[in-house]
Structure 1
């Protein structure tokens, strides 16, 4: 069975290319402009796992002389595209979809890109004949830049929903209106700008349970589990939120947090919700070895979603901290032995990578031989470094540093230096050598 450290096998780390640390191409998705907002109108076809969509992207040029707008390529068919009303051509080269501008752009100017498309996404669509949910690969069902983590944009989504079905997406359902054939249009709005990989939605005939956790509403949904089972499965969520709030120094960053229970082993966070498979949850209560998926994905609401690594170079700030906090939750819930056991799993994963001749600093920017090795560094080694910091600085300074880091960078993007500075400020110590050894220069010491 998977355990807390194994969140790396099913969370967002499964998604990015193994060579994402290689040199940046001139037309790398997102180069030369900043996306300010996405507005989408989507009509999904649940049985076919396809969709038709219209998308409006507001953007600002960040460089002079931009000649193309490049995004992540996908399997969708582009029907039309205009920039400020002017029709553009498009082309796909490798993993890049680009639109050629009629003239080079000027830095600081804004523009509006409108795109219509249809097709069947190659990734990121899952469910049954009666349900549909997305998983990580947002830029396979819309036009965006999948790995531009540091860019956060506003998100608005109009979903055409079949008669009798409900929807879930990022943020708040702000309106419903009748559509043709008994369908409805559901309008969703994100509460703040988020990185594109965190966008998502779900459609289905869901059973539902809800409760309050302080000022936030918790909603549990499933097309197979009834209200009673949903409450049993997610019974610890309120305690997890209380624990994480104390450690982060920031309350749950969303007014409503939803958890969608599906068949299988899914464990995926989105901006304001998570999708969790029954196979990823404990088969019996009070089993620390299996208790990880709910708290891991919930933890991303703080570290990953609210605070996001600027680039994949510092991806360990998303996943290493979250994996460590999963172990810390287990310590709080089950005792120190559960914390140590979780870290032992991390050591085992890292030792296997080292035995294969691979160990790099956490912020290394090169290519990884396999995705499993990348996880061993970003998830497992990242968690071990956080545990090492805790032991080296002591309880008060460590947790004070994590709270400082979280509060100061809430809503923004970060690099490893930001964590170092927060820990130095809280401890009064010069941590350059320690961060150099683990994060910037060396491998794990013997």
Structure 2
């Protein structure tokens, strides 16, 4: 997910650390089929859901799904629940739909529930008018708003395949995840459209877009590539999306691995800001279609198809595995497409955003601490600081090992779940290094090094003396730091390990300057050049 700057301004992951979502370890959701009907006359929906579950443990007595209750006229009302054609006792309170199983069940049992419901969504699915004055219906389920319109397990760990069977007015088109199975015209100027997603996804990636579109279909190295834009952006929208998407797909496929899905559609949407990486059918907010290049936005959302979509964080504490990866891979694509200067400019901008966020939230690590409020899941740490962590990791292990590790991490967790520890293990295997101290320092510990320093040239000893001080609260960070000594292109690397250190370098004459981190590889808050000696 890529947020606008205005919105964004607003211990290593282990089984012992997790967000507070109430898990059901005895239940595994496998597949959903959602049959939804919408009309021009209402901002509500009629729904039928087929939910296929598998029990992992003996003795499970009930299954709980997330589904918004009705409050102030908005929410979903359940009309009936059945299992194998028989009514199922249920309760629906405070957004939790509890389904009683009755007789004792055994591990391995597969249960197929049929749920009939309907209502006006309070969130998650928006009925609105786009910037051209045309009605449309668009989903926005991030981070846990899918249950506002669908009966689901609304958590990233509950990945499942799904089908969307949408009956809408015949003058509308419908886009969703996966492959198009059916379009059938029905009586009463209605049309049924059926999409099927064959690879498992977390439910916040399930998407629906209903409205008027100009659709262009082409390929990118045999991958079906579609552009769905409002008819008013027919030519400009297609151009903004397709050329960039084709380049991005080629770069990521070569660096990480083949595209993990059967198609990619890029979709203009109303009601969202920035982009949403809904697998195989990415949504881009209508405001982005203003004639300016969409390079970074498209690169960010497509990167998520690998990281966040195919490889999904096991809980909200590790959301950096989505956003940090997409942010840094966007930087890497900019370097590939536009050159080193564009790459460095993006990194410096991101470093400034981290420094600003540190001032506002000084005690916030990248990996969340048992997150309980999903409204606070996103910040500059999980985007920009996490991207910088990957950048520093790449410089620590080396370019070849970094990309090998990234490929192994992707292949090892493709269409599954992952944790921070999984990234570390893949990178350790690729590099042969113990990376636990690195991961702990940059992901679990809040803050970044705040650096101050001075230098002086001692003519009699023919040496340069550089004094460096880490002024942040707490213990010293340990990290390599490069210094450009301002004479003949000389660059030296020192190891920061204490709050105050003095480094000496033999030099035949005084340098013109001493520059910190000349190659932009260190996440520090400090001057680009150290103060010269006072005169």
Shift in Å at residue 440 of structure 1? 4.2
Provide the residue aligned with 1:69 in structure 2: 63
Provide the residue aligned with 1:378 in structure 2: 382
Shift in Å at residue 31 of structure 1? 4.8
Provide the residue aligned with 2:38 in structure 1: 44
Provide the residue aligned with 2:189 in structure 1: 182
Provide the residue aligned with 2:475 in structure 1: none
Determine which of 152, 160, 163 is the counterpart of 1:144. 152
Work out the CA distance in 1 between the residues paired with 2:262 and 2:372: 38
TM-score (norm 1): 0.87
Work out the CA distance in 2 between the residues paired with 1:7 and 1:411: 30
Work out the CA distance in 1 between the residues paired with 2:62 and 2:403: 45
Shift in Å at residue 284 of structure 1? 2.9
Work out the CA distance in 2 between the residues paired with 1:111 and 1:392: 49
Shift in Å at residue 351 of structure 1? 2.7
Provide the residue aligned with 1:279 in structure 2: 287
- Listed one character per residue, the Cα deviations across residues 56-96 of structure 1 (whole Å, up to 9, x for unaligned) are 11101223333332122311111111233332343344343
In the alignment, structure 2 segments of 5+ residues that lack a partner are 11-16, 69-74, 451-535
Determine which of 38, 52, 58 is the counterpart of 2:52. 58
Superposition RMSD on alpha carbons, in Å? Answer: 2.8
Given the alignment of the two structures, is residue 270 of structure 1 paired with residue 263 of structure 2, yes or no?
no
- Listed one character per residue, the Cα deviations across residues 291-342 of structure 1 (whole Å, up to 9, x for unaligned) are 4221111111111111111111221111111111122222222233332333
Shift in Å at residue 261 of structure 1? 1.4
Work out the CA distance in 2 between the residues paired with 1:204 and 1:376: 34
Considering Cα pairs closer than 8 Å and 6+ residues apart, tell me whether 1 or 2 has the greater RCO.
1
Decide whether the 8 Å contact of 1:353 with 1:359 is kept in 2.
Answer: no
Provide the residue aligned with 2:119 in structure 1: 119
- Residues matched between the structures, number: 427
Which moved further from structure 2: 97-106 or 225-234? 97-106
Decide whether the 8 Å contact of 1:8 with 1:375 is kept in 2.
Answer: no
Provide the residue aligned with 1:220 in structure 2: 227
Judging by fraction of residues, say which structure has more helix.
1
Closer/same/farther in 2, CA of residues 47 and 111 from structure 1, 3 Å limit? same
Given the alignment of the two structures, is residue 135 of structure 1 paired with residue 140 of structure 2, yes or no?
yes
Shift in Å at residue 46 of structure 1? 4.5
TM-score (norm 2): 0.73
- Listed one character per residue, the Cα deviations across residues 423-444 of structure 1 (whole Å, up to 9, x for unaligned) are 1122121212111222345654
Note the 1:349-428 alignment, pairs <5 A.
Answer: 349-367=353-371, 371=375, 374-428=378-432
Shift in Å at residue 4 of structure 1? 6.6
Closer/same/farther in 2, CA of residues 95 and 438 from structure 1, 3 Å limit? farther
Structure with higher Rg: it is: 2
Shift in Å at residue 118 of structure 1? 0.8
Shift in Å at residue 371 of structure 1? 4.9
